[in-house]
Amino acid sequence: MKRNKVLTSFVPMLALAGLLGYGAFDKPAGTPVPITPDADNAGLKLPEGFGALKAADSTGKARHIAVTANGGIYIKLNRLKGGKGIVYMQDTDADGKFEAVKSFGNYGGTGLCIKGDYLYASSDSEVYRYKLNNKQEVVNTEAPEKIVTGLINRNQHESKSIALDNVGNLYVNIGAYSNSCQERDRQKGSMGQKGCPVLDSAGGIWQFKADKLNQSYKDGVRYATGLRNVVGLDWNQQNNQLFVMQHGRDQLHDLFPDLYTVKQSAIYPAECMYALKKGDNAGWPYIYYDQDQHKKIVAPEYGGDGKKEGAKEIIDPAAAYPGHMAPNALLFYTGNMFPAKYKNGAFIAFHGSWNRSPEPQAGFFVVFQPFKDGKPYGNYEVFADNFSGSAAKTASGRVDHKPCGLAQGADGSLYVSDDLKGTIYRIVYNK
């Protein structure tokens, strides 16, 4: 319920100040107001001391998000809503929930981030940027600069997720328009294409200049290759390095039933986190990572049998997670609201599986991966769960919400987007 915005007397003003936890005159202007979680924590299951609220609802197919320094939020929509693909919202009454809305951009897509004085956003084939004013509001929504154009889009792994470093470089995922680079994609027994021509223009991370207009492939650098599809990526400020989350390949049993059981196909390969340097090769489509054997295994399309190990020069993942859970966002937490254990660790939004049958579907949660000295340290923990609505809905895959994007607020709160019903969650620590 919204607080009454019209105070008819001095007494109600004092009462309101008391409810907010401070006297009417003992805090300077601009002091953040404590946020009260929803009574049911927005339906989420969280660690002790954390709470959540639905900061917005029904925004559209909300993919990646970015929160401004003054508490506004930009939301990238996968599909246009009202002919627009970016939503900007503000919390006008400091209750933690967004009221004001304006939309712009005539393209759908996934990628979105704020860096310096610009908002960067991507369609499935281009990257744009918008100039921001000192309130981090877009100056002219009708005149974005086109930074990159002509990226391949063949309606499979088409999202162009983006990240920026601190020296003016833009990193763009260009997902492989293939499952495993077969001669006949996703066809039983079809072998892999020699030299995998997909890798010439996709299946990796490309680096461009963040401030140069109308760049195309010839202007960019293939920064890392052998990555089937990356939707979640973030620049790690602690060790000044790009980290990405790869979606692992599908259908081991369907395509090679003599080599893999249905259960093996349901749980392998791992969804992997990679710490990238320029020139790295993560091995797709020639290998996949088996999280139980802790090995890079040669793909069956290229002569593998589920045991044969791949080339040593292919990089190892920084961390590995259960298969087919679709990691769609990665965020390194640098805030001060959460307990110290979370500082510089990584949050990962797992969008959820569709292809783990006959095993139960899995994911539909946000996990926390501890880091130490800039590297994953120890096991991941499920941080925010029950986006699905229930264990039964998780198992069936017919869920209420699918976490997709992550952003950190200026106060250190964590925002999570849902691209199924367009809910924006805000997670706070109040203990």
pLDDT for 94: 87
The one-character DSSP state at 265 is H
**Amino acid (1-letter code) at residue 383:** F
Amino acid at 96: G
Q: 53 with 38: CB under 8 angstroms?
A: yes
Q: Is residue 217 part of a domain?
A: no
Provide the residue count of the chain: 431
C-alpha angle 219/222/225, rounded to 5°? 165
Helical H segments across 184-323, by residue range: 252-255, 262-267
Q: Work out the number of other CB atoms within 10 angstroms of the CB of residue 68.
A: 19
Residue 240 CB partners (closer than 8 Å, separation 6+): 165, 166
Q: What are phi and psi of 166, to 5 degrees?
A: -100, 5
What phi and psi values does residue 424 have, to the nearest 5 degrees? -115, 120
Which residue in this structure is represented by tokens 């409810």? 19
**From 14-18, 108-112, 284-288, 317-321, the region with the lowest mean pLDDT:** 14-18
pLDDT band of residue 412 (cuts 50, 70, 90) is very high
Domain, as residue range, for 397: 37-141+179-199+230-429
Q: Are 204 and 284 in contact (CB under 8 A)?
A: no
104 and 82 in one domain?
A: yes
Rounded-to-integer distance, Cα 359 and Cα 141, Å: 46
Please count the structural domains in the chain.
2
Amino acid at 345: G
Same domain, yes or no: 293 and 358: yes
Q: What tens digit of pLDDT does each residue of 155-179 get? A: 899 999 999 999 999 999 999 999 9
pLDDT at 194 over 80: yes
- Burial zone of 355 (CB within 10 Å; 0-12 exposed, 13-18 middle, 19+ buried): middle
**Sign of the four-CA dihedral 132, 137, 138, 140:** negative
- The token duo for 300 is 């069956």
177 within 8 A of 229, measured Cβ to Cβ: no
Sequence-ordered strand ranges (E) for 57-95: 62-67, 73-81, 84-90
- From first CA to last CA, the distance across the chain in angstroms is 23
| pLDDT score of 33 | 61
Distance, CA of 210 to CA of 147 (rounded, Å): 7
Environment class of 382 (CB within 10 Å of its CB; exposed 0-12, middle 13-18, buried 19+): middle
Kindly report, residue by residue over 240-283, the tens digit of the pLDDT.
Answer: 999 999 999 999 999 999 999 999 999 999 999 999 999 999 99
Q: CATH number of the domain that 117 lies in?
A: 2.120.10
User: Mean pLDDT of all residues in the chain?
Assistant: 92
Average pLDDT value for residue range 91-104 = 92
Q: State the Cα–Cα distance between residues 63 and 224, nearest whole angstrom.
A: 24
**100-104 and 112-115: which strand pairing?**
unpaired
- Residue 106 shares a structural domain with residue 90: yes
Strands 381-384 and 424-429: unpaired
The answer to whether residues 12 and 76 belong to one domain is: no
| pLDDT value at 32 more than 80 | no
Do 286 and 338 belong to one domain? yes
d(CA 406, CA 329): 6
Pair 238, 315 in one domain? yes
Domain assignment present for residue 423? The answer is yes
State whether 343 and 295 are in the same domain: yes
Asked if 236 and 332 count as a contact pair (C-beta separation under 8 A), the reply is yes
| Statement: residue 1 has pLDDT above 80 | no
Same domain, yes or no, for 76 and 9?
A: no
Residue 163 included in any domain: no
Are 319 and 281 part of one and the same domain? yes
pLDDT of residue 90: 96
Residue 240 falls within a domain, yes or no? yes
* Average of per-residue pLDDT across 83-110: 95
Phi, psi of 289 (to 5 degrees): -105, 125
Instruction: Answer yes or no: is 396 within a domain.
Output: yes
- Please, are residues 269 and 248 in contact by the beta-carbon 8 Å criterion? yes
Q: What is the pLDDT of residue 120?
A: 98
Phi, psi at residue 229, to the nearest 5°? Answer: -165, 130
Gap between the Cα atoms of 171 and 51, Å rounded: 33
On whether residue 280 sits in a domain, the answer given is yes
Is 68 within a domain? Answer: yes
Looking at the fold, whether 20 and 103 belong to one and the same domain comes out as: no
Measured between alpha carbons, how far is 210 from 170 in angstroms, rounded to an integer?
A: 5
Whole-angstrom Cα distance, residue 294 to residue 290?
Answer: 6
Q: What would the two tokens of residue 190 be? A: 């079809």
Same domain, 11 and 67: no
Does pLDDT of 5 surpass 90? Answer: no
Is 252 domain-assigned?
yes
Same domain, yes or no: 8 and 64: no
- Which of 23-32, 73-82, 159-168 shows the lowest mean pLDDT across its residues? 23-32
Whether residue 317 is preceded by a cis peptide bond, meaning omega within 30 degrees of 0, is: no
The token pair at 184 is: 């006949």
If pLDDT is split at 50, 70 and 90, which confidence band does 100 have?
Answer: confident
Higher pLDDT, 101 or 370: 370
